[in-house]
Amino acid sequence: MPLPRLQQLQARKLRTQIDYLKKNSPFYRRKLKEAGIAASDIRTVADIARLPFTTKDELRESQLKKPPLGEHAAVPLDQVIRFHSSSGTTGRPSYVGITERDRKRWIEIVARCYWSEGVRPTSIVIMGFGIGMFVGGLPLANAIEAIGATFVPVGTGASDRLIATIQDLKADIITCTPSYASYLADYAREKMGIDPKTLGIKRILCGAEPGGGVPGIRERIEELWGAVVTEATGNADVVTVYAAECPQRTGNHFLAGDFVIPEIIDPDSGESLPIEDGVEGEIVFTHIERDCVPLLRFRSRDRVVVWNKPCRCRRSGFRMRIVGRTDDMLILRGVNVFPSAIKDVVSQMRPNTTGEIQILLDQPGPRVEPPLKIQVEHGTAVDNLEALKRYVEENLKNKLIFSPAVELVPPGTLPRFEMKAKLIRKLYEEQRP
Ligand SMILES: [Zn+2]
């Protein structure tokens, strides 16, 4: 849909949603009353900036006050058909519920994303994400099946079986985290004596953490598997997947405009930023068609860069890439540094490195006194470690403008992850009694 028409549709749906929130959610009724905004004040999509933000902390509090879903939930529990939980970073997980209508909307949007990445009715897709309560489980299954493709629910924790299943069923697609795609290739080669290139995988659809769209990391996975890697982006509170690459691979197309209004804001001032080539900021979401746990200007803490020049695939709207979480961003003498960017630079130095890193923090971030301690795995055939250490340090310093203190460790020393990779090791938490 051309953008001006989509925006008219969004403004109309937003008015309806505001009335819905006022009527059905005590949490939003209070918020909207405090802000003094009514549905009739919304004339165009830009008026969304007049509405109040919602933070993850508020949602958590609302959930503690009225378990299981919170005061922001807008339907009685008998209409909820499924609970999911998001991998909470602190203590209690947060829960998300969906109604039957929400389920259908999620399927539609996730299916658009997978279609954009090349899933077709003839595809056989191996599930390399955990299924469990994670939003990246069942909703992906539903969407892949809705396309008419074949879904193979292997999940994580069974790498032998996953590789054997690819062979037995002649699967041609894997969907998983980029860390797991690398891990699986190493596993097949080293533990099973199988060259992953011979398995016939044509596409690897990555998500749940940055990496699938990062050049150094993407190329390594493609080399290992002889497959095309694309990336998609989602959010447990918004919709499992809302943006995905097309074959042009010039950023992830935002494909959920009829379901959620995205905004890019300056995370410090909260000011709206224009969605134009190269603009970077925090992405904020407002559901305009969500029954169960709707969000109003939800601060995702995901920092993204956007592009709005037309794409050759003719999908309208903008493209984006997550550059990091505003909450795992480190600040060194005023310079913002994202762990995923460090991993990217180190990955580009293969085969001198394996691409694996771990940042060591003595104290909680985001502010870190330089130099930043980073463990980097060197490659197998490196003889001058001292020269490599200097080379890695200089490269990081030149590209990301901070002072690193690199410690080289042998290949295979750093932990590998099946789900989201942990790039930061918090030494200060381990030292506690
Ligand atoms: Zn495109």
pTM attached to this predicted model: 0.84
Regarding whether 207 and 112 lie in a shared domain, the answer is yes
Q: Does residue 272 have a pLDDT over 80?
A: yes
Calculate how far, in angstroms, residue 314's C-alpha sits from the geometric centre of ligand 1.
Answer: 6
Q: Does residue 87 have a pLDDT over 80?
A: no
- Mean pLDDT (the chain) is 92
Calculate how far, in angstroms, residue 250's C-alpha sits from the geometric centre of ligand 1.
Answer: 7
Q: Average pLDDT for residues 358-365, to the nearest whole number?
A: 90
pLDDT in tens, 307-336: 999 999 999 889 999 888 777 778 888 788
Q: What percent of the chain has pLDDT over 70?
A: 97
Residue 144: inside a domain, yes or no? Answer: yes
Calculate how far, in angstroms, residue 184's C-alpha sits from the geometric centre of ligand 1.
Answer: 29
Regarding whether 57 and 18 lie in a shared domain, the answer is yes
Calculate how far, in angstroms, residue 114's C-alpha sits from the geometric centre of ligand 1.
Answer: 13
Calculate how far, in angstroms, residue 116's C-alpha sits from the geometric centre of ligand 1.
Answer: 8
Calculate how far, in angstroms, residue 254's C-alpha sits from the geometric centre of ligand 1.
Answer: 10
Regarding whether 349 and 335 lie in a shared domain, the answer is yes
Residue 308: inside a domain, yes or no? Answer: yes
Regarding whether 193 and 86 lie in a shared domain, the answer is no
pLDDT at 121: 98
Regarding whether 226 and 129 lie in a shared domain, the answer is yes
CA triple 76-77-81, angle to 5 deg: 120
pLDDT at 365: 79
Calculate how far, in angstroms, residue 161's C-alpha sits from the geometric centre of ligand 1.
Answer: 34
Q: Average pLDDT for residues 344-354, to the nearest whole number?
A: 91
Tell me the pLDDT band of 416, cut-offs 50, 70 and 90: confident
Regarding whether 389 and 297 lie in a shared domain, the answer is no
Calculate how far, in angstroms, residue 247's C-alpha sits from the geometric centre of ligand 1.
Answer: 7
Calculate how far, in angstroms, residue 109's C-alpha sits from the geometric centre of ligand 1.
Answer: 16
Regarding whether 123 and 87 lie in a shared domain, the answer is no
Calculate how far, in angstroms, residue 397's C-alpha sits from the geometric centre of ligand 1.
Answer: 34
Question: What CATH number should be reported for the domain holding residue 362?
Answer: 3.30.300.30
Calculate how far, in angstroms, residue 295's C-alpha sits from the geometric centre of ligand 1.
Answer: 28
pLDDT at 89: 47
pLDDT in tens, 155-211: 988 999 999 999 999 999 999 999 899 999 999 999 999 999 999 999 999 998 878
Calculate how far, in angstroms, residue 380's C-alpha sits from the geometric centre of ligand 1.
Answer: 38
Regarding whether 88 and 10 lie in a shared domain, the answer is yes
Domain span holding position 344: 330-430
Calculate how far, in angstroms, residue 307's C-alpha sits from the geometric centre of ligand 1.
Answer: 11
Calculate how far, in angstroms, residue 123's C-alpha sits from the geometric centre of ligand 1.
Answer: 20
Regarding whether 132 and 29 lie in a shared domain, the answer is no
Calculate how far, in angstroms, residue 70's C-alpha sits from the geometric centre of ligand 1.
Answer: 38
Regarding whether 304 and 222 lie in a shared domain, the answer is no
Question: What CATH number should be reported for the domain holding residue 288?
Answer: 3.40.50.12780
Tell me the pLDDT band of 430, cut-offs 50, 70 and 90: confident
pLDDT at 421: 72
Regarding whether 231 and 108 lie in a shared domain, the answer is yes
pLDDT at 213: 87
Calculate how far, in angstroms, residue 331's C-alpha sits from the geometric centre of ligand 1.
Answer: 34
Give me the number of domains the chain comprises.
Answer: 3
Calculate how far, in angstroms, residue 160's C-alpha sits from the geometric centre of ligand 1.
Answer: 35
Regarding whether 160 and 217 lie in a shared domain, the answer is yes
Calculate how far, in angstroms, residue 147's C-alpha sits from the geometric centre of ligand 1.
Answer: 19
Calculate how far, in angstroms, residue 174's C-alpha sits from the geometric centre of ligand 1.
Answer: 21
Calculate how far, in angstroms, residue 260's C-alpha sits from the geometric centre of ligand 1.
Answer: 20
